[in-house]
Amino acid sequence: MGNLGELSPYEARDAAGFVESMRQLKERSGLTYRQLEERAARNGDVLARSTLADILRRTSLPRPDVLAAFVRACGDGQRVGAWLDARDRIAAGIALPATAPDPEADASAEAGSQPEAQPRPEASTVPRPRRTKVRTVALATSLMVLPLALVAWALLPDDSADPGAPTAPATASRTPADGWVTIRPARTPDLCLTDGRDRDGAYASAVAVQLPCARATVPRTYLEPVGEGMYRIQWHHPQEGRGCLTVMSTGPVKGLLEPRNDCARATLFLLQPTAADSTGSFLLRPANSSRCTGIADDDTTEGAEATEERCTGAADQRFLIRAG
């Protein structure tokens, strides 16, 4: 296996150059696509070899979760943060420094007098969160797309003529944290949206329900920005892999939210800041409708399902989104 540390992700100046760096990383790892897929699975990641082969043939940036899984599988897990940082700098159009930073030196500075070679933490069952400096770039990107999001909300057909329905102020500048998050009903912040079963037992698969956050550690929730103020809500499960919340349009639990493996067809959500309280809450509005996500029957108890419903501005439709 080649010396992975000699390959810096900061050498790339554009998306094509970044993918070329990924190809070099794979070559230096000495691993086949199948071996990378198997190593990713052992790390608790999902990295289909067909997906990876397609990414390395193209000249566009990969998704952050795929990049992190790839870097870890190649054996460069100690520098996942550097790869994600370099990727996000290119995505945000931020010029890279003429002299590439040394991620290992940065890590040593952060750790004080710790030795240069650090033991790798125990493998997580899900992709790991980015470092703080990556989060800064992601937030800057989110701020740039907010005006487009407000335009999208304004163009949505309005079937929620209820005078109590909230509207975002024209000057709203608040954006949710992206990346690893928890989503909590604002009036019951000790509860988190996570997987469960509908209380009537009408559906055999998982749906989104509210449960105590202390017990809702699996799956982890990842908020993926997809442009124009819209997001996918991903769930990462150590056994089931990744699923994206999708509003069910038919069946016995129509309107409930189900995690589905086909994220390309998952529901996109507009996260609309509310002015109804001082908690910094958001409405979760499916982008393909003018409705809102709320809690079934306005319920505050454990196990109550998240559901699509008419926007009313009620407390059960306001959610806190916290990095974590």
Instruction: Give whole-number Cα distances, 49 to 4, 185, 260, 278, in Å.
Output: 21, 38, 20, 46
- Residue 53 in tokens: 């082969």
In 144-228, at which residue ranges do the beta strands (DSSP E only) sit? 179-185, 191-196, 207-212, 220-227
Distance CA 173, CA 139 (A): 12
Instruction: Give whole-number Cα distances, 268 to 164, 173, 227, 264, in Å.
Output: 25, 20, 10, 10
Whether residues 157 and 226 share a domain: the answer is: yes
In the chain, at which residue ranges do the beta strands (DSSP E only) sit? 179-185, 191-196, 207-212, 220-227, 230-237, 241-247, 257-260, 269-273, 282-286, 292-295, 306-309, 319-323
Q: Within its chain, how far is the Cα of 120 from the centroid?
A: 24
Whether residues 74 and 151 share a domain: the answer is: no
pLDDT at 120 over 60: no
- Residue 138 in tokens: 């992601």
List, for residues 189-223, the tens digit of each pLDDT value. Answer: 999 999 999 998 888 889 999 999 988 888 999 99
Task: Look at the pTM and tell me if it is higher than 0.95.
Answer: no
Which residues span the domain enclosing 255?
A: 135-323
Distance CA 13, CA 7 (A): 14
- The backbone region for 4, taken as left when phi is positive above 0, alpha when psi lies in -120 to 50, beta otherwise, is alpha
According to DSSP, residue 184 is labeled E
Whether residues 183 and 243 share a domain: the answer is: yes
**Ranges 88-102, 243-257, 259-273: which has the least confidence:** 88-102
Whether residues 146 and 87 share a domain: the answer is: no
Over residues 288-299, mean pLDDT: 91
**Ranges 11-15, 27-31, 273-277, 318-322: which has the least confidence:** 273-277
Q: Which of residues 17 and 11 earns the better pLDDT score?
A: 17
C-alpha radius of gyration, the chain, whole number: 21
Whether residues 239 and 151 share a domain: the answer is: yes
Instruction: Give whole-number Cα distances, 19 to 15, 81, 257, in Å.
Output: 6, 17, 35
Distance CA 165, CA 156 (A): 14
Distance CA 146, CA 159 (A): 23
The pLDDT assigned to 167 comes to 41
Per residue in 252-273, is it b (16+ CB within 10 Å) or e — as a string? ebebbbbbbeebeebbbbbbbb
* Residues β-bridged to residue 291: none
**Final residue belonging to a domain, choices 99, 127, 155:** 127
Whether residues 49 and 171 share a domain: the answer is: no
Q: Within its chain, how far is the Cα of 117 from the centroid?
A: 30
Whether residues 255 and 144 share a domain: the answer is: yes
pLDDT at 53 over 90: yes
Strands 207-212 and 241-247: unpaired
**3-state percent helix, strand, coil for the chain, nearest multiple of 5:** 35, 20, 45
Q: How many CB atoms lie within 10 A of CB 61?
A: 20
Query: Three-state DSSP class for 220?
Result: strand
Domain count, the chain: 2
Whether residues 288 and 196 share a domain: the answer is: yes
Identify the CATH number of the domain in which residue 287 sits. Answer: 2.80.10.50
Q: How many CB atoms lie within 10 A of CB 51?
A: 17
Distance CA 172, CA 93 (A): 24
**Final residue belonging to a domain, choices 127, 154, 188:** 127
Task: Kindly indicate the confidence band of residue 150, based on its pLDDT and cuts at 50, 70 and 90.
Answer: very low
Whether residues 23 and 109 share a domain: the answer is: yes
Whether residues 48 and 154 share a domain: the answer is: no
**Final residue belonging to a domain, choices 63, 94, 127:** 127
Query: Three-state DSSP class for 266?
Result: coil
Task: Kindly indicate the confidence band of residue 262, based on its pLDDT and cuts at 50, 70 and 90.
Answer: confident
Q: Taking the alpha carbons of 150, 151, 152, 156 in that order, is the dihedral positive or negative?
A: positive
Whether residues 255 and 289 share a domain: the answer is: yes
Return the percentage of the chain with pLDDT > 90, whole number: 43
pLDDT at 114 over 90: no
Query: Three-state DSSP class for 272?
Result: strand
Helix (H) / strand (E) containing 7: none
Whether residues 121 and 187 share a domain: the answer is: no
Distance CA 99, CA 78 (A): 21
